[in-house]
Chains A and B, each alone.
Chain A
Amino acid sequence: MKLYLKIWRQTNTDSNGSFQNYEIDEITPDMSFLEMMDVLNEKLIMEGIDPVAFDHDCREGICGSCSLFINGRAHGPDTGITTCQLHMRKFQDGDSIVIEPFRASSFPVIKDLVVDRKSFDRIQHAGGYISINTSGNTQDANTIPIRKEDADNAFDAATCIGCGACVATCKNASAMLFVSAKVSQFSYLPQGQVEAKDRVLNMVKQMDEEGFGNCTNTGACEVECPKGISIKNIARMNKEFLKAKL
């Protein structure tokens, strides 16, 4: 396959970026998208051009590092996957591909396609935990039965990988899906009840302080979420928030 790539290049946070064009040959359909980027970078290195920086680590769709906006879609033209799970068989010979970083004012660009998502960590610092110390004499794990349905719902919310596709996709750059996934996980579990009120208030406060936008129920985040986190979680967070405020 021969491809025409249009890639966002930016030296650092303070500099202005721009799109650069690259041509690449001998790409096979079984390659992953990031392997295609590896091939490009090897070529650039040999030509004495600075390779394209992009975040990636596990390359199996679970660490949440990779974060490209490909042809206008977070994680590219497939659903239920991260960029590292996208394969070149989704493209045709001769295609043009536009590759951008996840764009949001709360995700400043570090270099090229690498963005800073520390704002996500800071939201978790604000309340994404249950305050329990490691003592070795916590009560037995089976002391409190939890309905299978609740445990499954908690799990589904907990599978968020914190990649930021929801923010990059949302026209308001809202982080509601991300924040609600954590609030929702704990709201389904008895262990999460004790601090429920403070948790939702503090996490939402931090979310606002970080400059993320609000939710206007478009639902694009759910469509693009690689883990299929449901916007029902946003409704649930709103309910928790309201309960806490009353």
Chain B
Amino acid sequence: MNKLNSKIPNGPLAGKWTNHKGKINLVSPSNKRNIDVIVVGTGLAGASASATLAELGYNVKSFCFQDSPRRAHSIAAQGGINAAKNYQGDGDSTYRLFYDTIKGGDYRSREANVYRLAEVSGNIIDQCVAQGVPFARDYGGLLDNRSFGGVQVSRTFYAKGQTGQQLLLGAYSAMNRQIARGKIKMYSRHEMMDVVIVKGKARGIIARNLVNGEIERHSAHAVVIASGGYGNIFFLSTNAMGSNVSAAWKIHKKGAFFANPCFTQIHPTCIPVSGDYQSKLTLMSESLRNDGRIWVPKEKADAKLIREGKLSPVDIPEDKRDYYLERKYPAFGNLVPRDIASRAAKERCDNGYGVNKTGEAVYLDFSHAIIRYGEEKAKVSGLDSSDSKLVSKLGKEIVKQKYGNLFQMYEKIVDENPYELPMKIYPAVHYTMGGVWVDYNLMTSIPGCFAIGEANFSDHGANRLGASALMQGLADGYFVLPYTIGDYLSNEISTGEISTDLPEFDKSEKEISAKLKKLISNKGEKSVDFYHKKLGKIMWNKCGMSRNEKDLKSAIKEIKELREDFHKNVKIPGGLNEFNEQLAKATRVSDFLELGELFAIDALERNESCGGHFREEFQTDDGEAIRDDKKFKFVSAWEYNDDPSKPILHKEDLEYEDIEIKTRSYK
């Protein structure tokens, strides 16, 4: 029996959202006052949802594990946010943004959700400007745009390389206004430990106060999970150190299906790994590919000399450089989507063209852009555009204006000047398209439990386009969930306050306390990080940029063994009732160790290559992905079945009414 009902409204695609909004049930203002909503996570999705739900009149309780909601990892998003405003007059439209997103996602996302996303994208920009978000502007005072991968229009709004920061601070400020009004109660340094289900409905959460270790009960009429993605399962990723899957995993274990866990985005432009001690990887925004050109030496001998430190990249003449993206994908060049750019870099490096000590790096070169901008500036300013020194100086100033903070970040980490030497970059785990399965209303398979932002699965298919994560987070939080949650809550107006003394709360709290006690009294020999790093290595080597049946099967076995060893041998210092970061980390890693297995099972099940999921068995002679729409045009939604090794697969077939399914080509 198919348990999945995506609840996609009937009617033509373009009218679905408007019609749906017009027909769903509402909650009157006087009733909203009697309804509580819990929101877990305060990134773009969580903060915007909390603020909007509070504006509407609901009583909101917001939770984050950081010391302030402003620290959520959305803050680190650099490049920009997409919106189909067509301010540049370059042919953009809602349909084109929708089309690009579906195609970019390799036809594995849900059509109706993506169309709605494109439809509300323009509102996001209006809302943010009204909140005082200082987007980049041109000299006429209007908003500026730039271009991102996988598209042929300029629809990305930005605030230098700190767009995520500015948007999050906008949402944070909207939250602050509601906190001041008393409509949001903020619980920072709190971690959600479990969801409490009463008579089949999500009725609250068990949280742990990370400062004093107290276990708390919080009830509500609905629970919204906005806890982000699970990229940290790889240990090394561009996620923040604290980013975790736990909230999403806890609801999964209580009945929420987990969709497409193997769809992971490996971002092509990150600073390469430099040593074993490394704790995280740093992204260099995709916006850099607007002006940077990616290359490796044409000759393996040159690459070898570079690796040995005997040759500098600036001494390699143009005809000895292989701008491989421009060569292989002339139509999109350096701006191909992320999955394609990442795989191409891996292919070059695997074949011996890598350019750093480890052999895992390619160049991202701004020397051409510096000359181009410099000449233009010289001409506009009436200066001598044939003076190469002057041109270089002017060009560097312009590049600095555009990407200054990114260049500075690079220089601090790598200790090389990217204005003089090309940047060295390599792909790294960045985002997870997979996540909690939700219907059109963003409700999970647990009634009353919703998932928004990166935590859900719905909009990006098998590969997310650049600058679309910020768009989805804010669309879900500002413009979608606040409507759709009303449809569910309209049945809760006479429920009244929910008691935290219910036996379900008792049971859940006892389970959590017992689990924590077991962890802390486990006098093992290895640290939490030992296990996290080990899991990360398995994931990266066997479930990373390319996957095959043999490796996936061995990953499943290894992860299971590692999990069993973790529970026997992990050593956690300190006590339960105190600030104990190792304990908090242990609970997160314990969930990653369960998710890891599901991830590999999902990757093994999907016998095709699509988007970020590349199975070596399914590729053309020249290494391009072979997607199998006949057999795999569905969402894999996994049901937890008492044991992480035995999940049950449900399939949501994907139907495309308004788009012709094609083989994705960026040539």
A residues adjacent to B (C-beta < 8 A): 11-12, 28, 30-32, 34-35, 38-39, 42, 44-46, 48-51, 53, 55-65, 78, 80-81, 85, 87, 89, 110-111, 114, 116-118, 120-121, 124-126, 128-134, 136-142, 145-148, 151-152, 154-155, 158-159, 161-162, 185-186, 188-189, 191-192
Contacts and interface: CB of A to CB of B under 8 A. Distances in A.
Interface in B163-178: 165-166, 169, 172-174, 176-177
B547 to A, nearest CB: 28
Contact of A65 (B71, B123, B413): B71
Contacts of B582: 45, 51
A12 to B, nearest CB: 7
Contact of B173 (A128, A142, A146): A128
Contact of B527 (A12, A46, A148, A161): A46
Given A63-B66, A111-B579, A146-B141, A191 B129 contact: yes
Given A34-B279, A48-B573, A139 B126 contact: yes
Nearest to B238: A60
A50 B280 contact: no
A90 to B, nearest CB: 10
B663 interface: no
Contacts of A186: 132
Interface centre among B128, B129, B142, B242, by most chain A C-beta atoms within 10 angstroms, is: B129
Contact of B132 (A42, A58, A114, A191): A191
A136 B120 contact: yes
B176 A134 contact: no
Nearest to B135: A151
Interface centre among B55, B180, B413, by most chain A C-beta atoms within 10 angstroms, is: B180
B123 A30 contact: no
Interface of B: 48, 51-52, 55, 66-73, 75-76, 85, 87, 120, 123, 125-132, 134-143, 159-160, 162, 165-166, 169, 172-174, 176-177, 179-180, 186, 188, 211, 238, 240-242, 274-275, 277-280, 282-283, 408-409, 412-413, 415, 478-479, 482, 527, 529, 571, 573-574, 578-579, 581-582
Contact of A145 (B72, B142, B188, B482): B142
A151 B133 CA distance: 9
A62 to B, nearest CB: 5
Given A30-B275, A59-B280, A148-B139, A141 B579 contact: no
A51 B600 CA distance: 33
A107 B193 CA distance: 28
B280 A116 contact: no
Contact of B127 (A58, A59, A120, A134): A134
Contact of A154 (B134, B162, B188): B134
A77 to B, nearest CB: 13
Given A51-B581, A141-B130, A158-B166, 20 more contacts: A28-B277, A30-B275, A38-B277, A39-B277, A62-B165, A65-B66, A85-B413, A87-B412, A110-B211, A118-B68, A121-B69, A134-B51, A134-B482, A136-B127, A141-B135, A142-B143, A151-B141, A159-B162, A161-B165, A185-B132
Nearest to B133: A158
Contacts of A132: 127, 130-131, 174
Contacts of B479: 134, 136
B141 A59 contact: no
Contact of B412 (A62, A81, A155, A191): A81
A118 B87 contact: no
Contact of A130 (B51, B131, B140, B179): B131
Contacts of A117: 67-68
A142 B138 CA distance: 11
- Which 4 A/B pairs are nearest by Cβ-Cβ distance? A145-B141, A129-B173, A155-B134, A154-B134
Nearest to A36: B277
A237 to B, nearest CB: 16
Contacts of B67: 55, 65, 116-118
Given A46-B527, A129-B176, A185-B132, A141 B413 contact: no
B159 A189 contact: no
Contacts of A134: 48, 51-52, 55, 127, 174, 478-479, 482
A62 B581 contact: no
Contacts of A188: 134
